[in-house]
Copies of this chain bind each other. A is one copy, B any other.
Amino acid sequence: MLIVGELINASRKSIAEAIEKEDAAAIQKVAADQHENGADYIDVNAGVFVVKEVEYLKWQDSTVQAVVDAPCSIDSPDPKAIDAALQLHKGTAMINSISLEKERYESLMPLVAGTDLKVVALCMSDEGMPETVDDRMKIADKLVNGLLQNNVAVENIYVDPLVQPVATNKEFGIEFLKAIEKIVTTFEGIHTLCGLSNISFGLPERKFLNQTFMVMAIARGLDGAIVNPLDKKMMANIIAAEALMGKDEYCANYLTAYREKKFEF
């Protein structure tokens, strides 16, 4: 399971404040904590600062990389911001995300073409948010084939089928789960990745629902997640589900987590 730590996002008040004060130590602590608790990539997002996004995203990126030996997931809908942050990134970043929205697609594709970058391919188009498996597969087909034609290796593509709230439509959960399974069986060697807290929007006990849905998505083939690695319950669910999926030889990772008391909440 590929874990992308989600905490360095300026939509969170403490992060926005640290950015505005240029408090590098605060950002670096969050980065280091996430890495120590299992994050393979550190997501950086400054999207709430519309005018200063480019400047702040670059600062986040270099501030994180100064202390953490893990690459960043450069998270922005704006290709210019991604390009700027990429210029100073060391190692192989993840781009979060390309989509089928025309402007985003056309300006991001040249940036990722022929590179080793990890690319999140978000199932969104100018026609709006997908609802069904078919909606998602139509977008995924075009996105994945576009990336492959532009010499992005299949194993560097992480399709995000886009989670929608089950309280809005009771089919939104199962359609997402079916899409995960269809994507991983259609494109051999591809990965899937998502943030899934939207699933519980409008319902009580959101953390519990998010954990449950994470386990269900793993059961259908999900192999990447944008989560809070400091959330012990969520991480325990992921570790247990991976062992039960046969992805943990001799249950070694599960047993280590148990000995390190990661199942004590």
From known contacts A205-B258, A254-B203, infer whether A212 and B244 are also in contact, taking CB-CB under 8 Å: yes
Asked whether, in the complex, the Cβ of A236 is within 8 Å of the Cβ of B208, the reply is yes
Which of B172, B203, B240 contacts A212 (CB under 8 A)? B240
Contacts of A212 in B (CB 8 A): 215, 237, 240-241, 244
One complex includes copies of this chain to the number of 2
A71 vs chain B, min Cβ distance (A): 29
Contacts of A205 in B (CB 8 A): 240, 258, 263
Interface code A165-184, partner B: CB below 8 Å = 1, 0 otherwise? 01100111110010000000
Interface positions of A from 208 to 225, Cβ below 8 Å from B = 208-209, 212-213, 215-220
Asked whether, in the complex, the Cβ of A251 is within 8 Å of the Cβ of B167, the reply is yes
A265 vs chain B, min Cβ distance (A): 10
Contacts of A167 in B (CB 8 A): 251
Contacts of A217 in B (CB 8 A): 219
Once the chains are docked, how many angstroms separate the CA of A177 from the CA of B245? Answer: 9
Closest B residue to A249 using CB positions: B170
Residue A204 at the chain B interface, CB threshold 8 Å: yes
Interface residues on A, range: 35 or more
Most buried by B among A170, A209, A212, A217: A212
Interface positions of A from 223 to 265, Cβ below 8 Å from B = 236-237, 240-241, 243-251, 254-255, 258, 263
Which of B204, B216, B263 contacts A244 (CB under 8 A)? B216
Residue A199 at the chain B interface, CB threshold 8 Å: yes
Which of B166, B213, B243, B255 contacts A251 (CB under 8 A)? B166
Asked whether, in the complex, the Cβ of A174 is within 8 Å of the Cβ of B208, the reply is no
Question: Which A-B residue pairs are the 4 nearest by beta carbons?
Answer: A216-B219, A219-B219, A173-B244, A170-B246
Known pairs A170-B250, A173-B246, A216-B219 / 13 extra A-B pairs, C-beta < 8 Å: A173-B243, A173-B244, A173-B245, A174-B244, A199-B244, A203-B255, A204-B258, A212-B237, A215-B215, A215-B216, A215-B219, A216-B245, A219-B220
11 CB < 8 A contacts A-B: A166-B243, A171-B246, A173-B243, A173-B245, A203-B255, A204-B258, A205-B258, A208-B240, A216-B219, A216-B241, A219-B219
